[in-house]
Structures are given as C-alpha cells and as structure tokens.
Amino acid sequence: MITRIRRREAATLHLGTSVHPVLERVYAARGIRAAAELSLALERLHPVGTLEGVDAAAELLARHREAGRVLIVGDFDADGATSTALMVRALEAWSFAAVDFLVPNRFEYGYGLTPEIVALAAERRPTLIVTVDNGMSSVSGVAAARERGIDVLVTDHHLPGAELPAANVIVNPNARASVFASRALAGVGVAFYVAAALKRLLDASGAAPRGAPGPAEYLDLVALGTIADLVPLDANNRVLVAQGLKRIGAERCVPGIRALLSVAGRHRADLTAADLAFGVAPRLNAAGRLDDMSIGIQCLLAQDAARAGELAARLDQLNQERRAIEARMQTEALAAVRQLTGAASDAGRHSGLTLFDESWHQGVVGLVAGRVKERTGRPVIAFAQAGDGLLRGSARSVAGLHIRDVLDAVAVRHPDLIMRFGGHAMAAGLTLERAKLDAFARAFDEEVARSREGVADADCVETDGELAAHEIALDTAAALRDGGPWGQAFPEPCFDGLFSVRNSRVVGDKHLKMWVEVPRTGRSFDAIAFNHIERATVAEGRAATGSAARQGPLELPSGEARLVYRLDINEYQGERRLQLLVDHVLPPA
C-alpha cells in the first residue's frame, strides 16, 4: 500500500510562452532541457541507415521479391501481431510474389522460431523466413531452417543470449555491438526500420511499384505495438507513437484498429496513448492469451470494415473471457501474497515475489503478475503449468529494475535452475522445471534484493508535486493531454495535494466517487478513484473481491485527505468538464 510520496525534481526550464507552465515543469522533471527536444516530427527520427543490419536486411528481402516465398513468423502478443501485420502489408504493397505469416500457438509450441515451428513452416515451402519480435533466442530453430536451405532474417529487440542464431542477417538495436541511438525500439519499431530500408532500396533501383505506399503508412501499427509492449518512450519512440496517433485520429489507419477502437468505446478525435494501452491492446492480446493470435493479425490485415468488425467483436469476446479468468486468478494470487508477506501492504521479507497455482491459465499469468506488481510495488513472476513437468512464467518489474538482467544474474549464479528465458526491462518470460520452483523463488528473491539499490520503495509513489488551486483547470488538463504521448519511462503527469472530501460513495461496486474541495479556496471538483474498493480490501487483508460486505463495510474517506491524482477532461453530451482521476487516497499528514 502506498504510504509515502516522492516528488520528482525539476530543473528550471524556459520553453517559451506557447508551453503551459505546468507542462513546462512536467517536461523538466522528465529530463527535457530544450524546446527542440519536444519536436515530434518524422524528421526527428534517428536515420534509418544508422540501425545496424537494415541495409543487408533490405537486400536479402529484395532477393526474394520476385521468385521467392517469404514467411513472416511473429510472436503471440500485440507487438508481435502489429509487427507481423506491418511486414505482410508492406511486402504485399511492394509487389512481393508470395507473402504469408505464421504465429506459434503459445500452448502448443511456446515462444519463438523453434525447430517444431520450422518443420510446420516448411510445409509452406518458404525461401525466406523473417522473424518479427522474436528470433534472438532461436539458435536451434534458425539452424533447422538453414539446414533445410531456407534463408532467415531475424528482426528482434530482445536482449541476446550468450550464443547468437546463425541467421543470414540479424537486425536488433540491442545486439551487443549495436551503437544505434535508440535501444528502446519495440519489435514493431525494428520491423518499421527494416521496411523503411527496403522501400528506400526499391525506390533507388526503380523497382518500387508506381504509387506504392511509403513506410509512414504503417505508423498506426507502430504506435499500437510500441505502446502495448511497455518499451520506454524515449525521444525516438515518442515520435513514432505521436505520428501513429495522428494517423489514427485522421482516420488514416487500418480498418482493424478502427474496429477495435469502436468495440472499446474509444474516440479517435482526441485519441491518446492511453486509449491504445487500455482499450485496443488488451483486446488484441486476448487472442494470443486465450486462443490464437492469428485472429488478431487477421483483424489488422482486414481490408474492409465489415470483416474487421467481425474479428474485433471476436477479440472483444475473448477479452471478456480473459477478464473473468484474470479476476479469479488475481484473487488467488493476492491471497498467496498475504500468506507470503503477512499482509499485501507489508514490505515483508520478500523483495521479489514468485507465484504459482496448479489451475492458473498460461495465457493470463502475465496480467496477474502485472496486477500484483501494482498492488505490492515489487517485481512479480507468475507461473502456470506447461505440461511435461514444466512451468512457464511471466515476469513484470518495477521502474528502475531491469527484470531480464535479474533473470540473467539468477541463471549465472544458479545455472541449473532456468531452462530458458528472455525479455526486456519491464517484462520477461521463462521456463523451468516444476521441481525447481521453490529453489528458483529463493534465488529470484535474493537477486532482486541485491538489485534494488536506487529503485523506488514499494510504499512510495512519485508525483509532479502540488498544483496551485488556479492550476487545477480545464486548460491545464488539455495542455497535459496534448503534451504527450505519455507512457513507459515518460510517465503521465500526476500530482498530489490536500483536499477536503465533501462527499464520497461507491459506484459500480468497486469505484469511489467523490466531491473534493481545495481548502480555504472554495474551489471544488468532481473526482473518481477507479478500483479503490478493490485496493482497499487488499490493503486491509480481505479477499480482493466479494467479501467486503461479510467483513463489514469499508470506511469511505471524509474530511481532509491527501490525494494523488491526474487531470482528466470528461466529455458528456457535448459538455467538457474537469475531473480528477485519483490514484491514491492518503492521510493528510
């Protein structure tokens, strides 16, 4: 449970009168030092040719354009789906003779280009396999493909292991020798750079079809995959996301994204990165979690609104099923956390949490790990059964702790524990034997404890400080919304302040609706704390859902309280009103 506030330090910054003073302070706290850094124009992207391997990748692709058969092998998450859709759409638009895709079913084949996937792919007789958002750990799979005479292009962003796959070409900004200026590219960002290099080569040789779209046509997919994969929004990724959001808002996006926004009830006119993160990405990911990501990819490849709408409706249904499964698993996981630590809010003895239940769904453990991480402020790995005495785990980390590096350190200290692993700073996956789970849990906890120096404490939240009463206004909310995109490592602005809670009530069983006033000013505001009741039951040691009534009513806040909140614009029936989105309700002291 959050009990302390740490305010971000901000240097003095003068960006000109066109930048709202609150936004100026927020930018300064995120390391912006000059107005030029705020430009989100495409010209600000790091040059295509500076990503190692893209020119060789373009030449390899071009050799298979007229007589070859190109097979894209993707991953089963939103980054993999958008990467796959981008490559298929681009190659088809640029007159490749034969383009197809294959995405492993996570329950049958697991992650990456395995020898089993190569055998399945070989039935389609490809001359070139292109991996997107995977491949760096596929040493045996790439070898199997090359033995069959199939060329392999690996495009990936995950950190490499000790041995690299023997692909014809590898493009990865996180390769050990890479000096590319943005190591934060998502898999779809790498695919975009490869596609851009290919289009440049085709243009230079006169081989590009007349009127063929340029790579910028696919920035809607790049924005979605980048946001969904939780990669840091460095300057380069902010350009990619901002340009993609602009295309989506202008209705220049694939029908599948339009359909997914529609079923999610999100409006394109004032679209933000949060709409993709919480509206579109979960529905797209639901296919890979519960069924087959091919459904999601087909939605992104659909050429007409009707077909896209059908597939989006199926994804929405899968997402509802996923939410029901996740709710049950989350209740069980938080109960296990209370047993581990004495209470979910207690700092306890454990720095890193390892959770497992025989009944958990393999496709949903990552979401459960993320939810428990949010509740406890600790890195979490949740495991599910994978058959044959194996477990597959999904890890989620906290800011400042590189989870893939932690797993690597565990593997070095205990080489017999982890069978395989991969990932990046905030999320990772791994496989181990069921019999070694307890030993792994101890090793993981110890390694996290060693690595936590400089990481925010579990009971601490960072804010951008206090707003003056006159700054809590619609124009401030609009400036902050338009000042994005916000996301990983470039967090959405939040503030803390002392308020008088004049009225509070529960809405929708788990949300807290309040009317709050800034003391001694007479200024009052509508406020809502989503999922507050659920968080409060966990903090008090109750079950996460369904037991509050049996254990007595929760005490709703009244009087003075310190709120951690964000500014939001609530639009209803054509009227725009300011609303405070409350993340935490704390004592006034």
Do residues 53 and 21 share a domain?
Answer: no
Instruction: Please tell me the total count of domains within the chain.
Output: 3
**Matching residue, tokens 């059908």:** 310
CA dihedral sign, ordered 418, 423, 427, 431: negative
Q: Which of 227, 234, 209 is nearest to 275 (CA)?
A: 227
- Tell me how far apart the terminal alpha carbons of the chain are, to the nearest angstrom: 16
Do residues 73 and 168 share a domain?
Answer: yes
Residue 322 in any domain: the answer is no
Residue 331 in any domain: the answer is no
Q: Answer for the pair 344, 334: CB distance below 8 angstroms, yes or no.
A: yes
Residue 333 in any domain: the answer is no
Domain boundary among 425, 451, 477: 451
Do residues 30 and 132 share a domain?
Answer: no
Do residues 361 and 432 share a domain?
Answer: yes
CATH number, domain with residue 408: 3.10.310.30
559 backbone φψ class: left, alpha, beta (φ>0; ψ -120 to 50): left
Residue 245 to residue 261: CA distance in whole angstroms: 12
Cis peptide bond prior to 485, omega within 30° of 0: yes
Q: What is the dihedral of CA 225, 229, 235, 240, to 10 degrees?
A: 0
Do residues 519 and 385 share a domain?
Answer: no
CB atoms within 10 A of CB 522: 8
Residue 555 in any domain: the answer is yes
CB atoms within 10 A of CB 125: 11
Residue 536 to residue 256: CA distance in whole angstroms: 38
Residue 324 in any domain: the answer is no
Residue 335 in any domain: the answer is no
Do residues 425 and 562 share a domain?
Answer: no
Do residues 142 and 290 share a domain?
Answer: yes
Do residues 17 and 101 share a domain?
Answer: no
Q: Which of 86, 475, 146, 483 is nearest to 301 (CA)?
A: 86
Do residues 474 and 570 share a domain?
Answer: yes
Residue 326 in any domain: the answer is no
Q: Mapping DSSP to helix (H, G, I), strand (E, B) and coil, where does residue 215 land? A: helix
CATH number, domain with residue 530: 2.40.50.460
Do residues 238 and 349 share a domain?
Answer: no
Domain boundary among 430, 451, 472: 451
Domain boundary among 301, 317, 333: 317
pLDDT in tens, the chain (589 residues): 667 899 998 888 888 778 999 999 999 999 998 888 999 999 999 999 999 999 999 999 999 999 999 999 998 899 999 999 999 999 999 999 999 999 987 667 667 899 999 999 999 999 999 999 999 989 999 999 999 999 999 999 998 888 999 999 999 999 988 999 999 999 999 999 999 999 999 999 999 999 999 999 999 999 999 999 989 999 999 999 999 999 999 999 999 999 999 999 987 778 999 999 999 999 999 988 887 899 999 999 999 999 999 999 999 999 999 888 888 888 888 777 776 655 444 445 678 999 998 999 888 898 889 888 887 888 999 999 988 899 999 999 987 888 989 999 999 899 999 998 887 788 888 999 999 999 999 999 999 988 876 555 667 889 999 999 999 999 999 999 999 999 989 999 999 999 999 888 998 878 999 999 999 898 999 999 988 876 665 555 544 444 444 345 667 888 899 999 999 998 877 788 999 999 999 998 7
Angle ∠(402,273,84) on CA atoms, nearest 5:
75
Its domain, for residue 24, covers 4-37+461-586
Q: Answer for the pair 518, 472: CB distance below 8 angstroms, yes or no.
A: yes
Do residues 413 and 388 share a domain?
Answer: yes
pTM: 0.87
Residue 77 in any domain: the answer is yes
Do residues 426 and 509 share a domain?
Answer: no
